[in-house]
């Protein structure tokens, strides 16, 4: 089944079900003596999944040395005197991954990659954008904008950002053979990573994004940064087109705030206004799209169930399942060919 929705009871149950699915896929690949390329997200949604995966890896059920990972995004403009200081800033996504996943492992992944936003000096980037307006254009219909740099930009700095930060990250994924399974979360308006609402799908595989003022203000208000001058104004991110080039995408959503964009992404036609709706196109082209969402995030899905199922999307409600999920008990563990539906 290329496109399906699994409804779990709550955050903990969602994390167990998703982690068990991912564990099986990695084990299948490693049984065939293949390295596994894992795409990873930050944010609260995957933290429970990462703890379950770390437990399986530490128990020897999977070989971390044969896993390579690529993260979705990273800030540009974190406080710090140099790239190392910025990468180790407590609000960096590199630091997040160490704290929430990589640092939990006794054996380390063969390789980990986080987009190289920390290499960019934000003040110089802003100056180059200001001084070379013909080298780039903004894309997007909402407040968060993609900054698309021309490949023949006259600015050495901007040309370097495109070639060595954006395009080079995509090339590295391609050299790894592409991503086998990508874990993603959902933004409040249905965005994935920093592919913000309104940024076009096409030809935006790696993005330089100018953050909207509300995002910056909220980061300060929520205590992530002491003042606006310390907050990043830009970010580097995979775009939806690159995220959904993985063989399988596992989307996690928990809580009432996610209910509306999750339902819209499944019941309505794909649109850049809801970037995760690209998953429909991905599934139509043969990709495996799996939503694992809790009961609160599923409220809109259940209300629009008929519309969604008419699109060929299977919905399975596991919210009454036993509290503890064992891999051996799940249909996709017994029948790996048919996947979650068993």
What tens digit of pLDDT does each residue of 220-272 get? 887 888 888 888 999 999 999 999 999 999 999 999 999 999 999 999 999 99
Task: Say whether pLDDT at 335 is over 50.
Answer: no
C-alpha dihedral, 20 to 196 to 233 to 117, nearest 10°: 50
> Which residues form the domain of 194?
3-341
What tens digit of pLDDT does each residue of 96-120 get? 999 999 999 999 999 999 999 999 9
Q: How many domains does the chain have?
A: 1
Handedness of CA 98, 101, 107, 110 (dihedral sign): negative
Token duo for residue 182: 């990508």
- pLDDT of 341 reads 33
The domain that holds 206 is classified in CATH as 3.40.50.1360
Give the confidence band of 336 by pLDDT, cuts at 50, 70, 90: very low
Of all helices (H) and strands (E), which one includes residue 318? Answer: none
Query: Rounded distance, CA 328 to CA 334, Å?
Result: 7
What SS3 state is found at 302?
Answer: helix
Reported pTM: 0.92
Of all helices (H) and strands (E), which one includes residue 322? Answer: none
Give the confidence band of 135 by pLDDT, cuts at 50, 70, 90: very high
Give the confidence band of 317 by pLDDT, cuts at 50, 70, 90: very high
Query: Rounded distance, CA 9 to CA 14, Å?
Result: 7
| Residues in Cβ contact with 46 at an 8 Å cutoff, skipping those fewer than 6 apart | 40, 100, 183, 185, 252
- pLDDT of 329 reads 47
Give the confidence band of 29 by pLDDT, cuts at 50, 70, 90: very high
Which residue has tokens 């969604």?
308
Give the confidence band of 338 by pLDDT, cuts at 50, 70, 90: very low
């Amino acid at each position: 089944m290329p496109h399906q929705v699994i409804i779990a009871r709550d955050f903990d149950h969602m994390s167990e079900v998703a982690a068990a699915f991912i564990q099986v896929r990695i084990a299948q690949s490693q049984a065939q003596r293949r390295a596994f390329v894992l795409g990873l997200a930050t944010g609260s949604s995957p933290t429970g999944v990462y703890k379950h995966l770390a437990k399986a890896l530490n128990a020897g059920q999977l070989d971390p040395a044969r896993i390579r990972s690529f993260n979705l995004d990273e800030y540009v403009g974190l406080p710090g005197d140099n790239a190392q200081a910025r990468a180790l800033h407590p609000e960096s996504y590199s630091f997040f991954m160490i704290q929430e996943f990589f640092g939990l492992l006794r054996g380390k992944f063969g390789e980990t990659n986080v987009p190289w936003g920390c290499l960019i000096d934000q003040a110089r980037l802003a100056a180059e954008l200001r001084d070379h307006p013909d080298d780039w254009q903004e894309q997007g219909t909402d407040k968060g904008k993609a900054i698309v740099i021309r490949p023949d930009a006259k600015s050495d700095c901007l040309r370097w950002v495109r070639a060595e930060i954006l395009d080079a990250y995509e090339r590295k994924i391609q050299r790894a053979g592409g991503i086998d399974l990508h874990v993603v979360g959902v933004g409040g308006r249905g965005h994935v990573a920093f592919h913000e609402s309104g940024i076009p799908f096409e030809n935006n595989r790696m993005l330089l994004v100018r953050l909207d003022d509300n995002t910056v203000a909220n980061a300060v208000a929520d205590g992530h940064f002491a003042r606006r001058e310390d907050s990043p104004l830009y970010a580097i991110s995979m775009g939806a087109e690159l995220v959904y080039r993985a063989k399988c995408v596992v989307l996690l959503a928990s809580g009432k705030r996610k209910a509306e964009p999750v339902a819209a992404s499944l019941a309505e036609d794909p649109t850049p206004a809801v970037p995760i709706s690209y998953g429909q196109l991905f599934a139509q082209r043969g990709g495996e799209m799996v939503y694992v969402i809790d009961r609160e995030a599923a409220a809109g899905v259940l209300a629009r169930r008929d519309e969604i199922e008419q699109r060929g999307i299977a919905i399975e409600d596991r919210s009454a399942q036993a509290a503890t999920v064992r891999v051996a008990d799940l249909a996709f563990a017994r029948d790996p060919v048919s996947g979650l539906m068993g």
